[in-house]
Homo-oligomer: A and B are copies of this chain.
Amino acid sequence: MKGIRRLAQELEISIGTVSRALNGKPDVNEQTRQRVLEAAAAMGYVPNQAGRALRKGSTGVVGFMMQSGSQITGQGDVFFMSVFDGVQMVCARHQLDLVVLLCSSEEDPDAYLQRVVARGFADALIISATKRHDHRIEFLARRKIPFIALGRSLTDVGHPWLDLDFEGMAQTGVDRLVARGHSRIGVFAPNDDTNLGYVFIDSYRDALHRHGIAFDPDLIFRTYPNDRGGHEMGERIAAMPAGRRPTGFILTNEMLTVGLYRGLHDCGIRPGADFAVIGRHSTHAQYLNPKLTCFYLSLRDLGIQLAESLLATMPAYAEQYPLGVVRKVLPLELIEGDSDGPAPR
């Protein structure tokens, strides 16, 4: 005899009552409920996930899908860890468990998601690293599975998403550098189909246009969004002839920022003196020298908002989070440092 049966036998009541007591149903005597609760705690009873999921058709877990291999996402552990922490805080409030679903670098994300969904791993999903055109969005919408995307996409089915304010970063970055006399401003663009690159570049062009500065495609640097890519960009910049070289740079990615900083440094270009850098905050970036001027956002808050927006789309929790369909861009704070130094010569 195992599980709920054993508990029921112990208490000499029926399994139905035990289940109701445990699940907070109203039609059970408050006194027996207490007995059940105590006995359950004493025996360390926890409802079997499979049985419950089978019967209820829901699992009580929310999945966070991400691609492994930072060479792809460009986000290191600390990025996601912090986000997870926020997501989980909210989930814990509702007895929801968070599991991280890791799509191997060798598997197709679309296929992976299909499997995850078909197997019924989770009731709701958070997907990250959204592509410009993302099949996962259509798929989840068609299946009517609650989900939220971290990152906008051209694939729009009226689904909820959260994203960083790349427009804002491009604009304030350009404004700031132009105000200091820069006109050749370099930016990074991912070399794949992740959507954020397009959004950022478009805003960058707009901002330049507002200032009457011609757009130069040579100032867009395509590489992998990790520190290696950043380092390599630094070397490429150093290798450019003085006239064609950018005099400043705007970055929205943590790892990339650190890499670029080092890459410039190794080539004898000093950020804040010879070259202006506006980057993205990270724990590493705190120790860069000279102090980095950067965009900051609390990743834990991002996680919290992600989770709350997701719950808002789940029937069972919607009334507790009356947010509607959240499609929001989160602004970043500019932390002033010394890396966007003086005017170019």
Enumerate chain A interface residues (CB-CB to B < 8 A): 44-51, 53-54, 59, 68-70, 75-82, 84-85, 88-89, 92, 97-102, 104-107, 114-115, 118-121, 226-228, 231, 258-259, 262-263, 265-266, 283-284, 286-289
Main secondary structure of the interface of A (DSSP, over half): helix
Task: Judge whether B119 and A49 touch: CB under 8 Å.
Answer: yes
Contacting residues, chain B, for A120 (C-beta < 8 A): 48-50
Which of these, B85, B104, B228, contacts A283 with CB under 8 Å?
B228
Which of these, B46, B82, B97, B227, contacts A287 with CB under 8 Å?
B227
Query: Would you give the shortest CB distance from A229 to chain B, in whole angstroms?
Result: 11
Copies of chain A in the complex: 2
Known: A92-B106, A231-B287, A266-B289. 8 other contacts (CB 8 A): A45-B118, A48-B120, A75-B77, A77-B80, A97-B121, A100-B101, A226-B283, A228-B286
Question: With A53-B49, A283-B227 known to touch, is A121 a contact of B106 (CB < 8 Å)?
Answer: no
Task: Judge whether B114 and A88 touch: CB under 8 Å.
Answer: no
Using CB atoms, name the residue of chain B closest to A68: B85
Instruction: Tell me, in angstroms, the Cα distance from A283 to B118 when the chains sit together.
Output: 36
Contacting residues, chain B, for A105 (C-beta < 8 A): 85
Instruction: Tell me, in angstroms, the Cα distance from A49 to B300 when the chains sit together.
Output: 31
Query: Would you give the shortest CB distance from A211 to chain B, in whole angstroms?
Result: 33
Instruction: Tell me, in angstroms, the Cα distance from A102 to B64 when the chains sit together.
Output: 11
Contacting residues, chain B, for A49 (C-beta < 8 A): 50, 53, 119-121
A-B contacts, 9 listed (Cβ < 8 Å): A44-B114, A44-B118, A76-B77, A77-B78, A77-B81, A84-B102, A92-B106, A227-B284, A284-B284
